[in-house]
Amino acid sequence: MTPSKEDYLKTIVELGGENQVVNNKQLVQALQVSAASVTDMNAKLLKEGLITHIPYKGVQVTEKGLRIANQLIRKHRIWEVFLAEKLGYDWKEVHADADRLEHVSSDLLIERLFQFLGEPEVDPHGGKIPNQDGTTDNASFCQLIDLGIGEPFLVKEVDDDTDLLEYLTQKGIQLGAHFRLVDKEPYEGPLTLESPDGSKTILGYKAALNIFVEKMED
């Protein structure tokens, strides 16, 4: 399995290709490659049984493709934990180096690193680390935008996007933070969060789409 094939499969999964169809335009934008390159890679992965193709719609990963993608995601997220916990990387800095390291790491190295780190369950962004066999234990978190006014919550996961992470850092929002949703403007307007000390944070709707939370009891 070449690094380009691994990246392609991982991108399909990250775009939701386990449960829905991912079209060529999404892959072109995410991978920053030409439409011809996407078509060529589709043909290769289809031949290897790693994806299925739905004419005029797009592709999805097969069970075999999903396991391979999740094993790469496991390597990536374990490296992110190491970079954050042991080398002091900020959560918005870990992605690029983890991307490089995931392709050159043996399975043995990753499992030794996993043990060294105390068998972490999530990465610095709250993403679940897949199991060694490429299976996943799904978390039951909801999107922040789905909460009702007055509901308290904990921040459990955010998308691994550099601009988003920079924005959340500026807003003082981090994993494990406790807030209450006190206002939500209609028509995709901003949300107002209140922290336990009574301070309020205004958060854009687009950012809230990419924040996953656990509802709390009052």
The fold of the 3-61 domain, in CATH, is Arc Repressor Mutant, subunit A (1.10.10)
CATH architecture of the domain 142-215 equals: Roll (2.30)
Query: Is there a shared CATH topology between the 3-61 domain and the 142-215 domain?
Result: no
pLDDT (tens digit per residue) in 17-63: 999 999 999 999 999 999 999 999 999 999 999 999 999 899 999 99
The C-alpha angle with vertex 211 and arms to 27 and 68, in degrees rounded to 5, equals: 40
Q: Above 90 in pLDDT, residue 142? A: yes
CATH architecture of the domain 74-138 equals: Orthogonal Bundle (1.10)
Q: Which CA distances in Å does 158 have to 55, 71, 166, 177, 206?
A: 33, 21, 12, 12, 12
Q: Where are the domains of the chain?
A: 3-61, 74-138, 142-215
> How many other β-carbons are positioned within 10 Å of the β-carbon of residue 136?
16
Q: Above 80 in pLDDT, residue 218? A: no
CA atoms within a 13 Å half-sphere pointing along the CA-CB vector of 158: 24
Q: Place 204 in a pLDDT band, splitting at 50, 70 and 90.
A: very high
pLDDT (tens digit per residue) in 166-192: 999 999 999 999 999 999 999 999 999
Find how far residue 171's CA is from the centre of its chain: 20
- What is the model's pTM? 0.90
Q: Above 90 in pLDDT, residue 114? A: yes
DSSP alpha helix (H) spans, the chain: 3-14, 24-31, 35-47, 63-86, 94-102, 107-116, 162-171, 205-208
What gap in Å lies between CA 125 and CA 147, rounded to an integer? 20
